[in-house]
Amino acid sequence: MLRPTLSRLFIIIALVSTSNLALAHAQLLSAVPAVGSVVAVSPDELKLKFSEGIEAKLSKVDLMNATDMIDDIAVLSTDPKDKTVLIAKLKHPLPADTYMVMWRAVSVDTHKTQGDYSFVIKP
Amino acid sequence: MKLRLFAAIIMASSITSSVAAFAHAVCGDRIFPATLGIDDPGVGDELALPTVSYVGGSTQSTDTAFSYTKTILPGFGLSIQGGQTNTQGATTSDALQTEVKYNFLCKSEHEFMASAGFKTNWANTGSTGVSTSYNIYSPVLDMGLGFGSLPSSLNALRPLAMTFELSETIPDPSSTDALANDYDQLNWGFTVQYSLPYYNSHISEIKNDFFKHIIPITEFSFSMPISNISNTPTGTNVITGYIQPGFIYSADTWQFALEATIPINSATGSDIGVKGELHFFFDDIFPQSIGKPIFN
């Protein structure tokens, strides 16, 4: 009696957890410029691709160069076609330097995650 | 190093000290996965179903178990677990175990978290010969430490994390049966895990979609009798334990873990086994219903 009941429960949970209904802590899957990459020219924007939809108004992206915080993020929004992509428009092109992107993401189910990564714009 | 430390402090201070930071074994940038040999340091709404252990050779034993944790308050939960064991064709039910656990510490900037729990193996809830006639109690301390705050010059080590567990198994001191037949044990263990999801999101992008979800892990768990030594199977206080190398596939709302179970000595056992577990995070699957604390 126990085993069929557990089996049904397992199947239900498996279906729900792999469906689009399931929400979760947003984890960074990829970025442009890529995590740890070296690029030749400054991007116009930073793109952060998460595992879940993001609430841009509750999320944050900060940028540091090798020594200081820099206020170079103009607008933060999600891609209109894909809420898992957070876009940080830059005010102006960045000079050659090492940059650290510090992000705080609030997923659409209000779970919070955070992280940071670096990329380099070579001279 | 200055950049790394500054960034950690900025982000830590920007995160509110809300309960969400305590759910799902998340502390700062670190997500501690559920582990098989010892418990993770978090408290969340989750279900492990099934956990299957198989030991071959002359032992020929299969154990199938489940564990369900429900948060009562943010960071405070109650779990229940049970299972069945089949040894050489004979099936027995494991004793019912409950645990109350409180996640009392999360230092985001250091990816350090700690929880304290109290387990009870309930008397007469399993098969005769398996379940005892008295309760067995275990105060438990679980801790986790991520290495993400290391300087950039040590980037390759930042995905590393360790978790630790310390507990004592205490047969009901008021039971004469326990005093006559059982013994206290000190239990300790730790895990060493290298998070490729952390590597992918912090150090360098991993192109392969499978590997960016993998966490290679090795677990170590040990026990040593510390009282009524004459009641132990060998009559000595020999240390027993397992080394469990394996991996975890960590998805958004579930994870799968698979590990070998290697006895550290003949007193532990002579046969190598394998252990696997499917684990569901209800705080992510049902965030507005059974996945959140009963009292917020």
Task: Quick: pLDDT tens for B60-91.
Answer: 999 999 999 999 999 999 999 999 999 999 99
Given this model, what pLDDT does residue B15 score? 36
What is the arithmetic mean of pLDDT over B5-26?
45
For B5-152, where are the E strands, in sequence order?
26-27, 30-31, 46-55, 61-73, 76-87, 90-93, 97-107, 112-121, 136-146
**Interchain contact, B49 vs A62, CB within 8 Å:** no
Residue of B nearest to A20 (CA): B285
* Structure tokens, B164: 């630790």
> How high is the ipTM of this complex?
0.81
**Interchain contact, A23 vs B203, CB within 8 Å:** no
User: What residues of chain A, 40 to 59, have a C-beta less than 8 Å from chain B?
Assistant: 51-52
* Residue B263 predicted with pLDDT over 50: yes
The CA-atom distances, in angstroms, between B284 and each of A22, B125, B254, B280 are 7, 32, 9, 9
Provide the 10 A C-beta neighbour count for residue A121.
Answer: 20
**Interchain contact, A115 vs B202, CB within 8 Å:** yes
Given this model, what pLDDT does residue A17 score? 54
Q: What is the distance, to the nearest Å, from the Cα of residue B172 to the centroid of all Cα atoms in its chain?
A: 24
Given this model, what pLDDT does residue A21 score? 43
**Alpha-carbon distance A50 to nearest alpha carbon in chain B (angstroms):** 10
Given this model, what pLDDT does residue B287 score? 84
Segment among A24-28, B3-7, B39-43, B154-158 with least mean pLDDT: B3-7
Task: Quick: pLDDT tens for B266-284.
Answer: 999 999 999 999 999 998 8
* Residue B45 predicted with pLDDT over 60: yes
Segment among A107-121, B184-198, B239-253 with least mean pLDDT: A107-121
Q: DSSP class of residue A22?
A: -
pLDDT band for B234, please (50, 70, 90 cuts): confident
**A-interface mutation test, from B5, B10, B201, most A Cβ less than 10 A away:** B201
Helix, strand or coil, per DSSP, at residue B99: strand
**Interchain contact, A113 vs B10, CB within 8 Å:** no
| pTM score of the predicted model | 0.87
Strands B214-225 and A73-79: unpaired
| Residues whose CB falls within 8 Å of the CB of residue A44, separated by 6 or more in sequence, listed in order | A89, A90, A93
* Residue B25 predicted with pLDDT over 90: no
* Residue B6 predicted with pLDDT over 50: no
Q: What are phi and psi of B35, to 5 degrees?
A: -120, 165
Residues B10 and A111: their CA atoms lie apart, in Å, by 19
Amino acid occupying residue B103 = N
Helix, strand or coil, per DSSP, at residue B96: coil
Residue of A nearest to B213 (CA): A29
Where chain A has pLDDT below 70, the residues are 1-24
